[in-house]
Amino acid sequence: MPVILVTDILVWLLAAVAAGYAFHCRRRPHLAIPWARVFRSATAMASVVVLGAYATLGLLDSLHFRPALEQKNAEQRAYSSEVLSVLDLAVSHLRGRGEKTYSAPLATRSYAKEQIELPDGRQVRDFPRLAFGGAHLNGEDEWAVDVVKRTLAGLAVAVVLLILFFLATKTLMKRRPEIPWHAAGISLAVVLLLAGPVLALSTGYHVLGTDKVGQDIFYLALKSVRTSLVIGTLTTLVLLPVGIALGISAGYFKGWVDDVIQYLYTTLNSIPGVLLIAAAVLMMQVYIDLHPETFQTAVQRADLRLLFLCVILGLTSWTGLARLLRGEALKLSQLEYIQAAHAFGVRDTRILARHILPNVSHIVIIAMVMDFSGLVLAEAVLSYVGVGVDPSTNSFGTMINAARMEMAREPVVWWALATAFSFMFALVLAANLFADAIRDGFDPRVRM
């Protein structure tokens, strides 16, 4: 049974809007030219590949359903209370293969000593073999060979895929020689050469280890991607209408409208953001706790909290965009084509929609991509503080929060933190590089 979460709808809506925008741009040269300039940059192409990989994960993880339970009575179908996504199906071998507790990456034994009963009845205190990690090995001496074998197999598959990709896009490359395909190729190669062996190894091992309750870290990281993307994109969806509407009307109408809006955002800006977010999220939590009957599953409950976090983040962070747009609209409203429109008696709403909005769109796009990475990081911080997403939602913030205590342990459990760090680092770095390329492409001042 498909489960439609609110954030799923919004995520797919956003993807559709992005596709529609791309189509819209293709037919309008003044929009297509800056994008063409963006894609002529090597860093942009490289980061697009990385962002694409993340987006694919996020979108696959945004198709939810509840699997049917096997029942003796065929007429009466019952569904599991567990909500799964398409991504869970794709990496089903990672899910539900919990160990008892920590284990290091690729380990065959647990990270903590236990009393083990030997077949002969004796008891020893040792590191026990893992239930799943390396369970297929006949003896632990085969480990090295097996790991190398799997790695090589993964690499081989990656290379084959690369060649296939290369052949498939050959005509495209010929048609658009100005785009730095080599940059995209290199970054695709890096992604595939990392993903290949990791996936190949993940069938038999916990590639990135397990956490305190024995969950596979690699799986947690994959599931966290969606949360980051949702926060980064849906928040802008909330932020944009507010920021744009208030920003351009303040700049265009001036007078008391401007005064009111300026007052609003200066006041909002002076309230510490974390405080506001914490208060709002806690209020939401109280509501959720008091109305448990509204939610069929735990995932739906957690999803609502995620959405609410997006809304509240959006409502506290539109001020920067509004301020930028106000300045730009002030400048534009003095321009002669706006005055010409006044001379034609064109209505204000029409002037805003036809003249002001299209001419601030570059600022909106730049602000949107710039905000994205900031929001991803903000989510991690908020979850760490404890006012972020629901504890049951996988996110980099909750991963870091769970792993922080283990930094003091001897020997240190480093893999959970390292994984969250590198996944988030790659995402934010790619987003930042892409944002830079977009700014260079869209900023009228850098145009030649």
Do the Cβ atoms of 371 and 332 come closer than 8 Å? Answer: no
> Closer CB to another protein, residue 249 or residue 359?
359
337-376 mask for another protein (x: CB under 8 A)? Answer: x-xxxxxxxxx--x---xx--xx-----------------
- Which residues touch 310 (CB under 8 Å, ≥6 apart)? 7, 230, 231, 234, 235, 237, 238
> Closer CB to another protein, residue 119 or residue 345?
345
Output the smallest distance, CB 13 to another protein, in A.
Answer: 25
> Closer CB to another protein, residue 149 or residue 447?
447
Output the smallest distance, CB 218 to another protein, in A.
Answer: 45
CA–CA dist 49, 68 (Å, integer): 36
Q: Count of CB atoms within 10 A of residue 145's CB?
A: 10
Output the smallest distance, CB 324 to another protein, in A.
Answer: 18
Exactly one of 27, 30, 125, 174 binds another protein (CB under 8 A); that residue is 30
Say whether residue 336 binds another protein (CB under 8 A).
Answer: yes
CA–CA dist 271, 398 (Å, integer): 26
> Closer CB to another protein, residue 327 or residue 374?
327
Output the smallest distance, CB 244 to another protein, in A.
Answer: 16
Do the Cβ atoms of 374 and 204 come closer than 8 Å? Answer: no
Residue 93 CA, distance from chain mean position: 23
> Closer CB to another protein, residue 125 or residue 445?
445
Please list the alpha-helical segments (H only) found in 169-216. 170-175, 181-202
3-class DSSP state for residue 226? helix
Element (H, E) at 116: strand 114-117
Element (H, E) at 204: none
> Closer CB to another protein, residue 219 or residue 252?
252
Output the smallest distance, CB 273 to another protein, in A.
Answer: 28
Cα→Cα distances 101→98, 126, 218, 413, Å: 8, 14, 15, 11
Output the smallest distance, CB 351 to another protein, in A.
Answer: 10
Number of residues that bind another protein (CB under 8 A): 20
3-class DSSP state for residue 127? coil
Output the smallest distance, CB 28 to another protein, in A.
Answer: 8
Site for another protein in 172-211 (CB under 8 A): none
Q: Determine the interface stretch with another protein among 115-123, 330-338, 399-407, 423-431 (rule: CB under 8 A).
A: 330-338
290-329 mask for another protein (x: CB under 8 A)? Answer: ----------------------------------------
**What are the DSSP E strand ranges found in 132-192?**
none
- Which residues touch 384 (CB under 8 Å, ≥6 apart)? 397, 400, 401, 404
> Closer CB to another protein, residue 76 or residue 334?
334
Output the smallest distance, CB 31 to another protein, in A.
Answer: 8
> Closer CB to another protein, residue 125 or residue 347?
347
Output the smallest distance, CB 359 to another protein, in A.
Answer: 6
233-272 mask for another protein (x: CB under 8 A)? Answer: ----------------------------------------
> Closer CB to another protein, residue 136 or residue 350?
350
Percent of the chain as helix, strand, coil, to the nearest 5: 70, 5, 25
> Closer CB to another protein, residue 136 or residue 354?
354
CA–CA dist 402, 275 (Å, integer): 23
Cα→Cα distances 28→41, 73, 448, Å: 21, 59, 20
Output the smallest distance, CB 40 to another protein, in A.
Answer: 10
Site for another protein in 70-89 (CB under 8 A): none
Exactly one of 2, 23, 29, 410 binds another protein (CB under 8 A); that residue is 29
> Closer CB to another protein, residue 23 or residue 344?
344
**Dihedral sign from CA coordinates of 436, 439, 440, 445:** negative
Do the Cβ atoms of 355 and 341 come closer than 8 Å? Answer: yes
CA–CA dist 84, 3 (Å, integer): 9
Binding site for another protein (CB under 8 A): 29-30, 335-337, 339-347, 350, 354-355, 358-359, 448
